[in-house]
Amino acid sequence: MDADWAAQRLGEIRTLMERSALYRRALAPTMTGTGVIGILAGLIGWTLPIESGSGFCFFWMTTGVIALLFSFFLIRRQAWKDNEPMWSSPTRRVFQALCPALFAGGVIGFLGVSMSELDKTFLWKVPPLWMMFYGCALFSAGFFMHRGIKLFGTLFVLCGVISIYHFTRESVEGSLPRIVHAHIVMGASFGILHLFYGIYLFLTEPQPTNQP
């Protein structure tokens, strides 16, 4: 018996503790479904078209709620199939990590909905801000999840930063596009990014193995 042995065992305990605190429910269907909802919403908003600022915020807040309910349903169904309580401790941790940034994004949305006359410059900042807050939420949740969630969150933050820079410049130059194009930005970011990430998860999903 030597120190290496004891240190190795302490290392095993630490690794197992970190691993056991991770959220493990299947993310692929949730992400893919959210992606499809995002793309559909982008197309609906663009083709209708929803042109008012408060209408835009209300439409995308509703889309967000639908996507959340859809994810909730999938998680609930998986827990039910596995005969497990839905609010396992990893699920609670992920939920708590998501809350602050999602709440901040929600406040921005409510501001947009409640204002009857929305400044176009403000409105074009809403999608980038949502991207950044959502990215922060995913990044926080990434501490209790695996499979690239932190990277996915970072991608959203980067998209938000790039688009806020772009739209601020266009605003200064007085060449901001019509509000209806913001639906395309939302559909392309929230929809396509989720869809691609969902496909990536499906393709790389570890297959269950039967342990002897």
Partner 1 sequence: MKTETFNQLDKVIHEKGRMAIMTVLASNPEMSFKELKEMLGMTDGNLSVHIRTLQQAGYVAVSKTFVNNRPHTSYRLTKEGTRSFEDYINVLEEIVRLNRE
- Residue 2 touching partner 1 (CB under 8 A): yes
Indicate the residue among 80 and 165 with the shorter CB distance to partner 1.
Answer: 80
In whole angstroms, the minimum distance from the beta carbon of 5 to partner 1 comes to 8
Write the interaction track for partner 1 spanning residues 84-123; mark x where CB under 8 A is met and - where it is not.
Answer: xx--xxx---------------------------------
The b/e string for 124-137 (b: 16+ C-beta within 10 A; e otherwise) is: bbbbbbbbbbbbbb
Nearer to partner 1, 3 or 203 (CB): 3
Q: Does 83 bind partner 1 (CB under 8 A)?
A: yes
The burial class, CB within 10 Å (0-12 / 13-18 / 19+), for 53 is: buried
**Structure token pair of residue 120:** 């176009």
Identity of the residue, 83 or 175, whose beta carbon is nearer to partner 1 in the bound complex: 83
In three-state secondary structure terms, 119 is: coil
Residue 54: is it exposed, middle or buried by C-beta count within 10 angstroms (0-12/13-18/19+)? middle
Verify binding: residue 80, partner 1, rule CB under 8 A. yes
Among 16, 26, 151, 172, binds partner 1 (CB under 8 A): 16
190 phi, psi to nearest 5 deg: -70, -40
Position 206 contacts partner 1 (CB under 8 A): no
CA 207 remoteness from chain centre: 25
Residue 205 sits in the site that holds partner 1 (CB under 8 A): no
Whichever of 21 and 172 has its CB closer to partner 1, that residue is 21
Q: Does 207 bind partner 1 (CB under 8 A)?
A: no
For partner 1, give the closer residue by CB, 13 or 158. Answer: 13
Positions of E strands within the chain: none
Query: Alpha carbon of 194 to those of 19, 158, 176, 199, 200: distances in Å?
Result: 25, 15, 26, 9, 10
Q: By C-beta, is 85 or 177 nearer to partner 1?
A: 85
Residues near partner 1, by CB under 8 A: 1-3, 6-7, 9-10, 12-13, 16-17, 19-21, 24, 80, 82-85, 88-90, 211-212
